[in-house]
Chain A
Amino acid sequence: MQPADRLQNIHAMLAAGHRSVHLERSSLLLLGGVGGFLSVVTEWVITDTRFPELGDRALALLVWLVFWLGGASLLDYRLTRRAREIRGETLPFAQAQVTRAWWMLLSMGCLGSFAMFFYGGGSMIYALWIVLLGLGIYLFGLFSRPLIEWIGLATILLGVAGLAAGLSYGATRWLAASAFAIGLPLAAGLNARNLGVSLPGRAAVVLLWLMAVVLPALSMAGVHTEPPEAAAVGLGSSVADKGDQVLRLEPGTEVPLRLDLDSPILSTRSDVELPMTLNMPMEVALRDGEPDGRYRIGNGPWREIREGVLQLRIDRLSPRLEKGVPVVRTHARLDSLDLDGDLR
């Protein structure tokens, strides 16, 4: 054997030793299952009807996340050690350190979810979770197979691209669910088959992985709310106490905003209204005489108010003295993400 070949061998074994961290299949399946479950179910469990107070809702979410993710992490730790013992291997030092970093990332995700109740930014919480998941996988990948490293990078880019593309809250929620529930088990399968060893092969595998994650998420996000079957009636018509109805609001209709300000410093009269006028036609589904959360703008698709497409954002607050009277001026935007198609 030539010296160059010997050096090549040494290099390969040295790299194998450095990359001895093995992300177990059970880890990816367990975390994928729990992460996907939490992405889909959390919104149904932690609701404002079940926890009306903001503080209670934030605390309930924290307990919920810590219970599931903490339990999954402990179980994963035990399963990983057991898998290593069965194979007669010791846990590499790098794996122990990366696992700690992974727990830190999960803790940051939980605390970030909790803090967003008080400091805002909740609309990007699922994108944040995707980026944190990507960082965790990438960290493992640095000391494991390069394919895992690439999938980690692809996951980070997925979260960032979702935000940059202005995906709605609902769409990023499905993207997070897909990254966990489809992406991680798929990564486990690809890793077990030792795919993506060569550079072009790895690029192709990661591209397929991205498609497998993104397409189901976008198709779920594109599933529109079921339209109500009742015919639309105008505002002047009588609203039925029982059954389904659709109320059509024409442009120019007055829709006052009633502000319920919760503050120990300021208080408002309960009848304070901000007069607003509708600029475009809108239909609202009614059930037993009350809006049931479904609406559509123009001839667009029907949506649920909880999809988060409509967002009221107060971005400025400036106290002033106007003619000797103290006034607080605010600037707010009622944003409507993804409504381009609705307005055509």
Chain B
Amino acid sequence: MTLPTLDPLLHQPARTQLVAYLSGRGEATFSELKRVLGVTDGNLGAHLAKLVEAGYVAAGQAAGGRRSQTAYALTAAGRAALSEYVAQLSALMVLSGEREGDVSIVDGLSNP
């Protein structure tokens, strides 16, 4: 029996949450992510830098508003990686006999 290999970049609680939030929200500013995740500036900056470097998250100009703000959004690669990660976690749950994998989350991720 082969155990699924989990994406090391996403297999970190803060980054998993960040990517999952962006998947539902569409785009979010640094301030909003900091508030939602409850992390420090430095911590969030480091996580975002890793995700941007991997091509999972893209930074751009926020739509609307008078003040110039940077908004972060999940890329297609990031969305695919999160779907894959959720599928791997579900498979792990089945293997470990915890309960059946949560397919609804994977379905939810397919709609950007």
Residue ranges of A at the interface with B (Cβ–Cβ < 8 Å): 1-4, 6-7, 9-11, 13-20, 81, 84-85, 87-93
Contact = CB atoms under 8 A, between A and B. Distances in A.
A18 B24 contact: yes
Given A4-B98, A10-B16, A16 B105 contact: no
A19 B108 CA distance: 13
Given A9-B16, A81-B64, A89 B29 contact: yes
15 contacts: A3-B89, A4-B93, A4-B98, A9-B13, A10-B89, A13-B18, A13-B20, A13-B36, A14-B20, A14-B24, A16-B24, A20-B24, A20-B25, A90-B27, A91-B64
B50 interface: no
A24 to B, nearest CB: 15
Contact of B90 (A7, A20, A85, A90): A7
Contacts of A87: 31-32, 35
Interface residues of B, number: 42
A97 to B, nearest CB: 12
Contacts of B21: 13-14, 16-17
A16 B13 CA distance: 16
Contacts of B58: none
Nearest to A94: B26
A151 B87 CA distance: 36
Majority secondary structure, A binding face: helix
Interface of B: 13, 16-18, 20-32, 35-36, 62-67, 69, 71, 82, 86, 89-90, 92-93, 96, 98-99, 101-102, 104-105, 108-109
B25 A92 contact: yes
B24 A90 contact: no
A89 B26 contact: no
A321 B18 CA distance: 79
A88 B69 contact: yes
Given A90-B62, A90-B63, A3 B13 contact: no
A231 B74 CA distance: 80
A90 B65 contact: yes
A85 B20 contact: no
A276 to B, nearest CB: 64
Contacts of B62: 90
Nearest to B31: A88
Contacts of A90: 27-29, 32, 62-65, 69, 71
A85 B25 contact: no
Contacts of B101: 7
Give me the 9 closest cross-chain CB pairs, A-B, nearest first: A17-B24, A88-B31, A17-B25, A13-B20, A18-B24, A10-B20, A89-B32, A3-B89, A3-B92
Contacts of B17: 9-10, 13
Contacts of B109: 14
B57 to A, nearest CB: 13
Contacts of A84: 65
